[in-house]
Amino acid sequence: MAEFNYCAPTEILFGSGMEQRTGELVRKYGGTRVLLVYGGRSAITSGVLPKVEDSLRSVGLYVAKLGGVVANPHLTKAYEGIEICKKENIDFVVGAGGASVIDTAKTIAYGAGEPDKDVWELFLHDRKAKNALPVGAVPTIAAAGSEMSDSTVLTDDRDNSKRSYHDHFGRPKFAIIDAEFTLTLPEYQTMCGCADVFMHTMERYLTNGEHMEITDSIAEALMRTVIKYSKVLKKDPSNLKAREEIFWASDLSHNDLTGLGNTNRGFVTHKLGHELSGMFDITHGASLTALWGTWARYVYENCPEVFAKLAVNVHGLKPGFTVEETALKGIEATEDFFKEIGMPTTIRELGIDPTDEQLQEMADRCAEAQGGFAGTIRRLYKEDMLNIFRSAL
């Protein structure tokens, strides 16, 4: 079993109307001057923006606002927020929206916490953060679980490179979970979020190292829950019970709980998917499902037993004649789940048709970002990454 240091300090308020306590929580964690970060029209139509702003102002907090955050959030927008923080003496950042908004809020907090340094250096791993402003989150989609994780993902829109940074400084002080805010989401965004939740746990589960039984049991239960309630939401988008189940799964899946004690985690599909979504502005969850099956078939022979366990314990399949046969059944069943909720399982199903030059550029960037190789089930170099991109077309 791998050694671990587990820290999940984010305070969670879960339930209808909890956003009314945003101001109270900012006060609790020392905030007096707030930058409220949000996206676009959905922040208004869902009701989250006016409710959060009213809550902040009701307790006498100063509020500056930064809107216009887009999916696959841009570095230049974060720079804009950092400048607002400097000018307005901001001491707390609240992100109200999806993961793109919360990750932008985190990036702004890092940048404002060390205002004499370029925040992008963190994402290039040229240095580690030594300070950050505190962050609060009011998420409006169950997907990345950024509101409880130490992870931040951003795209440098100057060259479309997408990079991540992980640090406890970025963990929100609090997160307010009200599944009612997700009721106005389009079906495609809801299903992309469900896929992302599933993938966060599956990437931690499919490893060829030591496994901790209780951790795997938690992961398997979470994946079964996501499968069950994703299908419910596909048929009945107004089902609030299903939305609450998926929302809580999204938080548990990406606060490290579902991988504790497991060794050799690779998260390769995410790393490949970041290049795809960075170049073509693809929704994150869809970029993952488009690549996962090809990656799985490329590496499964190195640890077929864990893919077979996925087939039996998550998808409820009967074992085949061989471990390898069961493993392949598990891969096929996972792709069938993606298809059932309307997710792509090839790149062209995303509505794009990359040239070979673009595929090579994505492989080059991915290899460079990972220091030459990625993966633990099978170590993947640039040529392997290119083969996966080509095979996934």
| Segment 344-384, tens digit of pLDDT | 999 999 999 999 999 999 999 999 998 999 998 999 999 99
* In the block, residue with structure tokens 């949000």: 38
Q: What is the pTM of this model?
A: 0.92
Extents of the domains making up the chain: 11-181, 187-391
* pLDDT band at residue 300 using 50, 70 and 90 as cut-offs: very high
User: Which residue type sits at 82?
Assistant: I
- Residue 376 phi/psi, 5-degree rounding, is -125, -35
142 touches 178 (CB < 8 A)? no
130 touches 251 (CB < 8 A)? no
Of 14, 5, 60, nearest to 34 (Cα)?
60
Of 268, 78, 66, 272, nearest to 156 (Cα)?
78
Residue 169: DSSP 8-state: G
Report the distance separating Cα 233 and Cα 343, nearest Å.
14
Least confident of 39-43, 82-86, 225-229, 311-315: 39-43
* Residue 257 CB partners (closer than 8 Å, separation 6+): 6, 8, 215, 218
107 touches 154 (CB < 8 A)? yes
Q: State mean pLDDT over 260-274.
A: 88
* pLDDT band at residue 228 using 50, 70 and 90 as cut-offs: very high
What is the separation of C-alpha 281 from the centre of its chain, rounded to a whole number of angstroms?
Answer: 15
pLDDT score, position 42: 74
Which one of 3.30.930.10, 3.40.640.10, 1.20.140.10, 3.40.50.1970 gives the CATH number of domain 11-181? 3.40.50.1970
* pLDDT band at residue 263 using 50, 70 and 90 as cut-offs: confident
Mean pLDDT of the chain: 95
Centre a 10 Å sphere on the Cβ of residue 76 and count the other Cβ atoms it contains. 11
Q: Which two tokens stand for residue 100?
A: 């793109």
- Residue 95 phi/psi, 5-degree rounding, is -105, 120
Instruction: Give the Cα-Cα-Cα angle 4, 10, 13 (nearest 5 degrees).
Output: 140
Q: For residue 228, is it left (φ>0), alpha (ψ between -120 and 50) or beta?
A: alpha
Evaluate if residue 88 carries a pLDDT over 80. Answer: yes
95 touches 136 (CB < 8 A)? yes
pLDDT score, position 149: 92
Q: State mean pLDDT over 118-141.
A: 97
Topology of 187-391 in CATH?
Dehydroquinate synthase-like, alpha domain (1.20.1090)
pLDDT score, position 4: 86
pLDDT in tens, 176-192: 999 999 998 999 999 99
Domains 11-181 and 187-391 share a fold: no
Report the distance separating Cα 225 and Cα 252, nearest Å.
12
* pLDDT band at residue 338 using 50, 70 and 90 as cut-offs: very high
Q: Which residues pair with 161 in a beta bridge?
A: 156
Q: Which two tokens stand for residue 304?
A: 């077929």
* Residue 76 CB partners (closer than 8 Å, separation 6+): 157, 158
